Amino acid sequence: MIRRTRVEIDLAAIVGNARAVQSIAGTALYAVVKADGYGHGAVSVAKALTAARAASGFCVSLVEEGVALRDAGVSAPILVMGPSQVGGEEDMVAAGLSPVISSDEELDALGHVARHRTEPVEAHMKIDTGMGRLGVAVERAAELAVEASRNGIRIVGLMTHFACADTDDPMDPDSVTRRQLRAFAAADRAVVAAGAPVRVRHAANSSGALLFPEARFDLVRCGLAIYGNGHWATEGQLPQARHQAMRLVTAIAQLRAVPAGSSVGYGATWTASRDSRVAVLPCGYADGLPRRASGRAQVAIRGKRVPLVGRISMDIAMADVTDLPDVSVGDPVVLLGRASGGASISTAEYGAWSGQSEYEVTCGMSKRVPRTYVEAVQ
């Protein structure tokens, strides 16, 4: 490895977070590893969780993501949540993936494959209980379950997805989440009455699993929580067990003297108010350090926070290290994650500097930045 800029993934932290979620939820955990495990590396995360028996299955969005896990030797159940499934039905069935039906078109496409098989294809049905994106309307769930059976598809799972579990008041009996749960229960009754052999029900994402006990059902689908991100202050348990799994680190490439009155970077957006010393960091917006964070972002060097100055460019950022007289070329720099001296930078803070969510932060780490892994404990 030539570059000093790298993303470090603590697999032991992910395993520990997953176990904490399982302990709180008291049910099976399907780890969400779509979008390359939210930027953490889907294959590495899935293998670590499987080896540690910290997840019962995995959730992806694309057929290709599920097939890639199978090709890497992951044998646990894999749920393909969509919506990009049409055209991939043969591959899903051949790889032993679990399709999710959320529309007439998906039912028809999967039925075309299922009708040519000797055994029914098992699938989950997604119910739209208020998210308004994907899913079968509650009123049509039973009808589609019957149609699925006619087409050689066995509906063995029912699922929904929460719109507001991360912002709803867990004590509010009429919150959006609880209204969704009531709608899901109605769909469940109708589908079972229609003869579908449902054996698995699931609704909860990370927030739903941790804040709404009645939403845990047979399994929970968690992504953000297992990667050590998110805020669940009212839950009171996971914050103590949670460990952020991702770090973005680099090293000082050069040190430059900047006289008072001189500027740094494109657009001359920062001018030194005193004779200054500035560190050149070989990391920019092509690596996952957003340009919109210019003028707001900070980094940790030798256990202390210092500001980035000037405009973040494609490959370079500049840090004002005037108040760190002992800093040297080659010193490590933490842009995201744990650092010494209490100077850690969370994904929430990192995202706030550029108006991004925590999901965008980790998913936005560039593929040109090498990943290194700390192996998980068993």
How far apart are alpha carbons 249 and 337 in whole angstroms? 8
Give per-residue burial for 144-164: e unless 16+ CB within 10 Å, then b.
Answer: bbebbbebbbbbbbbbbbbbb
Q: Which of 38, 47, 227, 266 is catalytic?
A: 266
Topology, domain 246-374: Lyase, Ornithine Decarboxylase; Chain A, domain 1 (2.40.37)
pLDDT above 60 (res 38): yes
One-character DSSP codes across 111-173: HHHHTTSSSPEEEEEEEESS--SSSEEGGGHHHHHHHHHHTTEEEEEEE---SSTTTS-TT-T
How far apart are alpha carbons 361 and 242 in whole angstroms? 18
How far apart are alpha carbons 333 and 352 in whole angstroms? 20
Which residues is 317 bridged to in the sheet? 281
Please write the tens of the pLDDT for every residue from 330-340.
999 999 998 88
Residues with Cβ within 8 Å of 213's Cβ and at least 6 positions away in sequence, in order, are: none
| Residue whose structure tokens are 């395993």 | 15
Share of the chain above pLDDT 70, in %: 96
Q: What pLDDT score was predicted for residue 258?
A: 98
How far apart are alpha carbons 3 and 369 in whole angstroms? 8
The residue extents of the domains of the chain are 11-227+234-241, 246-374
Of residues 349, 13, 357, the one with CA closest to residue 167? 357
Q: What pLDDT score was predicted for residue 235?
A: 45
Q: Which of 30, 34, 227, 350 is catalytic?
A: 34
| Residue whose structure tokens are 């003869």 | 195
Q: What pLDDT score was predicted for residue 180?
A: 98
Residue 126 annotated to the active site: no
Query: Residue 183 corresponds to which amino acid?
Result: A
Two structure tokens written together for 111: 């039925």
Q: What pLDDT score was predicted for residue 96?
A: 97
Per-chain mean pLDDT for the chain: 94
How far apart are alpha carbons 86 and 111 in whole angstroms? 11
Give CA angle at 6 (19, 276), nearest 5°.
Answer: 120
Residue 266 annotated to the active site: yes
Which H or E run includes 101?
Answer: strand 98-101
Topology, domain 11-227+234-241: TIM Barrel (3.20.20)
- End-to-end distance of the chain based on CA atoms, in angstroms? 28
Contact assessment for residue 8 and residue 247, using Cβ atoms and an 8 Å cutoff: yes
Contact assessment for residue 324 and residue 276, using Cβ atoms and an 8 Å cutoff: no
Q: What pLDDT score was predicted for residue 234?
A: 44
pLDDT above 50 (res 233): no
* Cis peptide leading into residue 197 (ω within 30°): no
How far apart are alpha carbons 202 and 181 in whole angstroms? 11
pLDDT above 70 (res 232): no
Strand-by-strand arrangement of the 298-301 sheet: 254-258, 276-281, 317-320, 304-309, 298-301, 332-336, 246-251, 6-10, 371-374
Please write the tens of the pLDDT for every residue from 51-105.
999 999 999 999 999 999 999 999 999 999 988 788 899 999 999 999 999 999 9
